[in-house]
Amino acid sequence: MNTLKPLLKSLLIPSMLFMGACAGQKEVVESPKQPLPPSGGAVSVSLGDVFFDFDKSDLRGDARDQLQTNYHWLTDNPSRKITIEGHCDERGTNEYNLALGERRATTARDYIVNLGAAAARINTVSFGEERPFASGHTEDAWSQNRRDHFVAE
């Protein structure tokens, strides 16, 4: 019985966490997806936003994919420049969110430059929490506001 107790403990705790996660009533929120291009013919590449986790400026996998698409837009439009606008949700002070928005925009710029884009073609600006995309005080709204928005010039 003494050897069985550690085994039961090691199985009981993870199973309870799993059951709690499965029984939760929270809805899973996904980042907005870019529409798929029409099949056949040339693929039209457009600039798209990248999204961040709460209080983070590191790139998620979906953000890297979108940044590669944005890089291809730059290569397809050699005379154009872009501005990367860093945005945050409403949590945190104005000063903190301005700095976080700048870190997010700089991270995206650095990634695109490392892919081969000219740094002179990419400007960054932070709006912090001042220009939310989604209104509301929910995780769904906040997740849409934690983003880098790309503007073609």
Residues 101, 126: Cα–Cα separation, whole Å: 5
Return the higher-pLDDT residue of 28 and 57: 57
What is the per-residue pLDDT for 113? Answer: 97
pLDDT tens for 102-137 read 999 999 999 999 999 999 999 999 999 998 898 888
Three-state secondary structure string covering the chain: CCCHHHHHHHHHHHHHHHHHHHHCCCCCCCCCCCCCCCCCCCCCCCCCCEECCCCCCCCCHHHHHHHHHHHHHHHHCCCCCEEEEEECCCCCCHHHHHHHHHHHHHHHHHHHHHHCCCHHHEEEEEEECCCCCCCCCCHHHHHHHCEEEEEEC
User: Domains of the chain (ranges plus CATH)?
Assistant: 50-152 (3.30.1330.60)
